[in-house]
Structure 1
Amino acid sequence: MDSDTFIFCLEAVPDVETHTTTEVVKNLERLAFEQSITSIYKACDTIEGLEESLNTLLYEDHNFKNYEIIYLVMPGEGNNICLNDYYYSLEEIAELFEGKMKGKILHFANAKALDLSEEEAQYFLDITGARAVSGYGAVFHNLTSIALDKAFFGLFEEQDNVVEIVEELYKKHYALCKLLDFRLYY
């Protein structure tokens, strides 16, 4: 089966100079092997690293239009992410990527709780041009969202309507969706 779902993953790490294979990398490799979903992985430890990684993808990767999902594995809470002990609001992130995420889905792993008001979500979508933002309302330090993330990503192989994808995700994985409080803003 030819894959048409591509994932760009950015993971917050304490130090990008320390090269380790994280659990996220291992899971992306399994996703490629098991479901033929292609991904690019980048680690970042600063807001500048985040911006540089996304700008490289935007301006230097000729396949950027193929990357439907931007997968962010970063700590934080509610309406912010944390990089190297500094907190950045999603409004600040939106302004960094103004108009650059057209048609993309930004998906946050449950390393951070995603809790946006309707206004915050709409602002983020309007400024970035993103099609949707998804993530989880619950963070369990001993339970990662990777199994549900993989199921979510895999559903993009079958269909394109993000609302139908989330409905299907709930049908197939209701207990885990409820436990982790899966959320979609679109």
Structure 2
Amino acid sequence: MSIFNTNEPSKLFCLEGVQDIDDTTNSSIVPSLEYLAMQQNITSIYKTCDSIEGLEESLSALLYEDRNFRDYEILYLVFEGRGNVITIGGYDYSLEEIAEFFEGKLRDKIVHFANTKILDLTEEEAQYFLDVSGARAVSGYRNSAPVLSTILDNQFFGLCQEFEDVIEITEELYRQNYALAKTLGFTLYY
């Protein structure tokens, strides 16, 4: 059984932190999102932000204005950062601050970070994020790598269509692509 509603295309919301929102240079994430739509029937909304205000504005629009928000199963966040912080516009923001912004509104959703942010949380930090945000799980990568994690991200999103249990998704991801998952240090807190 899938975590996605299999009666309609699966939905993913992607928010990418950029240096300048007015810079129209194409993102390396967009082709990956197009691949998901064409090959795995996962539709996505893609937005960028270059400040905490832009992040809050994008998330507020998603939470309060998008009538289909409940249909988004995964929030795919592409930000720089390490450990318990993301970096936006040269400033660090803790995952606790992000969790408090969502405050219970991420019920049944997976928050997934690309490997541009090293996700290495203590058990307490992960549990706080999950409890306060209401998210079902938070996932990402513990290890830095010179390549973007989109290949493994796409595989993870595809497995979310096949399986409901997050442990089963993680086990299958490691079974299918052990070397890359191990190298990047894929991790999932639930």
Shorter-chain TM range is over 0.9
Percent of residue pairs identical:
59
Calculate the TM-score normalised by the size of structure 1: 0.96
Q: Superposition pairs for residues 98-177 of structure 1, below 5 Å? A: 98-140=103-145, 142-177=146-181
| Paired amino acid for 2:109 | K
Conserved? CA contact 2:9–2:41, under 8 Å: no
Q: Do residues 88 (structure 1) and 93 (structure 2) align?
A: yes
Deviation at 1:3, TM superposition (A): 4.6
Q: How many residues align?
A: 185
Q: Structure 1 173/3 Cα, relative in aligned 2: closer, same or farther at 3 Å? A: farther
Show the 5 A alignment for 1:45-56. 45-56=50-61
Matches within 5 A, 1:7-22: 7-22=12-27
Correspondence 1:35 to 2:40: yes
Task: Indicate if the aligned counterparts of 1:5 and 1:156 stay in contact, CA closer than 8 A.
Answer: no
CA distance in structure 2 between the partners assigned to 1:15 and 1:2 by the alignment? 38
TM-score, normalisation: structure 2:
0.94
Deviations, residues 161-186 of structure 1 (Å, cap 9, x unaligned): 11111111111011111000000000
Deviation at 1:2, TM superposition (A): 5.8
Deviation at 1:4, TM superposition (A): 4.0
Match runs of 1:56-95 below 5 Å: 56-95=61-100
Structure 1 runs, 4 residues or longer, greater than 2 Å off? 1-5
The answer for unaligned runs of 5 or more in structure 1 is: none
Unaligned residue ranges in structure 2 (runs of 5+): 1-5
Q: C-alpha distance in 2, partners of 1:158/1:5?
A: 11
Range with greater deviation from structure 2 (129-138 or 48-57): 48-57
Q: CA RMSD in A?
A: 1.2
